[in-house]
Amino acid sequence: MDKASIGGVLAGTGLVLAAILLGSPISTFINVPGILIVAGGTFAATSIAFPTSELRTIFSVSRRVFNDPGDEMVAISQHLIHAMKVLKREGPVALEAVAEEAPTEPLKKGLLLIADGTDSGTIKEILKTETRQMEEHHRAGQKIFNEMGKYAPAFGMVGTLIGLVQMLADMSDPDALGPNMAVALLTTFYGAVLANLIFIPMVSKLDRRIQIELTQIQLAMMGLESMVRGETGIILEEKLRAFLNTHKSKADEALGQPQEAAA
């Protein structure tokens, strides 16, 4: 799991709650109708703006945001080394079983192609298509979250206007005006928190996520090409180490020390 993403959500939520509790009880900030207006309105508007096929991407891209890219690079590297050992020991057909345990879909597909005897050029073309599909999938999710970041504050304002109309419609009790105004403003609060703590940060995170997954596919392609060429496991490990040199601690965790590989 990506500690930065999880930590950011927890820290943001915790700080908002702390600020609330320092000044008033939490019940002051709970208004069910306001929550329904903001959450329901946001998702309803999003459903109108995007087809069902694109809305389904929300769940898959949300999971990707909270995965640790460093751990994924480690898993890809370790699986490539394992696949190379199996290839040398048992032959290409044995890669079919190894492919089923691959940590990413592009790597799985590449191993299955090698098992079928596909040449490196064809594998590259197929994985380039996978790359385009991945980017389109993530961009679709990014657009959805971007629009949700706009809709949430807008429906927060709608809720506030509804509350103000209801308050002004009955001003017979002056003592109730203050509490009623507070309730009316809560929907604006809900919309602002959802937009700035969840939706808009997800847009930025997905943009970074696309670049990371492009790098992961390049890493897989490099390893797969090494396997097709019949290079040794030592050469593959050194190539992977060079690729991961910007994440040295992760590289050492995945591959071990150079002396161990040479031995």
Higher pLDDT, 261 or 197: 197
pLDDT at res. 261: 39
How would residue 110 be classed by pLDDT, with cut points 50, 70 and 90? very high
Mean pLDDT of the chain: 84
What does the chain come to in residues?
263
142, 146, 151, 156 alpha-carbon torsion, rounded to 10°: 110
Question: CB of 260 within 8 A of CB of 155?
Answer: no
User: Looking at the predicted structure, is the pLDDT value of residue 156 above 90?
Assistant: yes
pLDDT tens readout for residues 173-226: 776 677 777 778 899 999 999 999 989 998 888 888 888 888 888 899 999 999
Q: What percent of the chain has pLDDT over 70?
A: 89
Strands (E), 72-184: none
Task: Evaluate if residue 249 carries a pLDDT over 70.
Answer: no
Say what the pLDDT of residue 44 is: 94
pTM: 0.72
Give the integer Cα–Cα distance in Å for 186 and 188. Answer: 5
Helices 69-90, 248-255: crossing angle, 10 deg rounding: 30
Q: What is the pLDDT of residues 44-91, one digit of tens each?
A: 999 999 998 888 888 878 777 776 666 788 889 999 999 999 999 999
Residue 2 pLDDT greater than 50, yes or no: yes
The set of residues, in sequence order, having a beta carbon less than 8 Å from that of 120 and lying 6+ positions away, is 224, 225, 228, 229
